[in-house]
Amino acid sequence: MDDRKGIAGGIRITYIGGGSRNWARKLMIDLALEGQMSGKLVLYDIDADAAQDNASIGNRISAMEEAVGKWSYEVADTLPKALEGSDFVIISILPGTFDEMEVDVHAPEKYGIYQSVGDTVGPGGLMRALRTIPMYAEFARQIERYCPEAWVINYTNPMTLCTRTLYEVFPGIKAFGCCHEVFSAEEELSALLEVFAGIKSVERTEIEINVKGINHFTWIDRASYQSINLMDLYSEAAERYSRDGFIADAEGKGSRQRGKWRWPKPVHFHMYERYGLVPAAGARHMVEFMPLAWYLKDHDPKWGFGLTTVAERREGQARQLAETKQIVRGETPIRLQQSPEEGVRIIKGLVGLGSFVTNMNLPNQGQIPGIPHGAVVETNAVISLNRVQPVMTGELPVPLQNIALRHVLNQETILQAALLGDYELGFQAFLNDPLVAIGEQQARTLYEEMLQGTKAYLPGLSGKFAIQGV
């Protein structure tokens, strides 16, 4: 803390994945707009040039007159140099390249297995996990050595397994996963207040919810604004909008625009009608946790969500790269507009500048009964000075708990397969995923092809799956 009351200075943040074209810039702008903190942010990335571009942008942002939070930005050429003495570590990486993701997402389509995202569960999520877990194991070892007291904030998917790996390798780590999917659900509830109760301009943070589940398979069973029960409003909306989704009326009221669809989507209301809980993650993520035949086999547009292709992701990355270069060359001005992310707010709370409640991914300490102790779950947590305290949420309804448990136990299997290099064990998890609705021999053929597609990131093999060149 510096000499001014209520001001935290001299904070050191390490950003692993500091060459990010998207998340890093949001963080730097959010830091500039927060006047109660200052310090140094050290960027580390295997693409050192990309990290240097972000350092240049960050220092320019900090020099802007409207930047009330002053930070210096530099690039470290090794991970130990980046980590040493840090108070916070942010991890936001792309595990592998879009070449590997191309196989993750599109190879299963030859067998009728479609994935709307392919980064959390399903065959794509599993393969992404196999190459990501060894990376996170190394991050955990280095954090334990160079900054064991640092708070670690993970943004990378698969969120659950990234966070779980950090704790498996360094049990004393202070880590949690942050996901913004729940924020959209809060915004939807705010929109319902306007449409059904005539109450406008309610910020999502003013809405109180009880969140429970695992990342990207999260649910709300209680929601309120002041004395208004928002579950009742959601039920009314489901009855009215279950066929077309929540669409703005003639006066423009309604949920936020998300691409060409509006939220909640028909599939959200369908899930609500089945389980009685509000889905708290995007439709593209939620459907991947459920049996293939329910929503993804025919990827029927009536459900209101589409499939994100890797080609679209490549195009998005190219646009972000071009924008970054334009900013570095001074051709595009930098606009200081706060992002909806909560990373800076969380850091502010942890250094003692206010407490609040938000959703977090943390090891289960009993906050969700019926889920194994130590498995990473998503619930609310209270953020305060050097403390993250999970909120006890209660059990999931049995039908949802059955689905969640299947994935929790599968994720534990994947964790061990990746740490041991046992790809036969990994195949057992592959077979057990509800999207892999094909015969065992077909599954083996697909699994082998997908292993080949990500072999550059696999540290070793055992069992029956031998990869040439490894």
User: Does residue 180 carry a catalytic annotation?
Assistant: yes
**Cα distance between residue 209 and residue 230, in whole Å:** 9
Catalytic residue among 106, 180, 270, 407: 180
CB atoms within 10 A of CB 448: 16
Residue by residue, DSSP assigns 66-93 as: T--S-EEEEE-SSHHHHHTT-SEEEE--
For residue 274 the two structure tokens come to 């089945």
Q: Is 8 helix (H, G, I), strand (E, B) or coil?
A: strand
**Cα distance between residue 88 and residue 10, in whole Å:** 12
**Cα distance between residue 112 and residue 450, in whole Å:** 15
Spatial neighbors of 165 by CB under 8 A, at least 6 apart, are 132, 133, 136, 137, 140, 415, 418, 419
Decide if 460 contacts 424 (C-beta within 8 A).
Answer: no
Residue for token digits 């995007």? Answer: 282
At position 166, the amino acid (one-letter code) is L
**Cα distance between residue 261 and residue 244, in whole Å:** 10
For residue 361 the two structure tokens come to 């991914």
Residue by residue, DSSP assigns 95-147 as: SS-HHHHHHHHHGGGGGT---SS-SSSHHHHHHHHHHHHHHHHHHHHHHHHH-
**Residues carrying an active site annotation:** 180
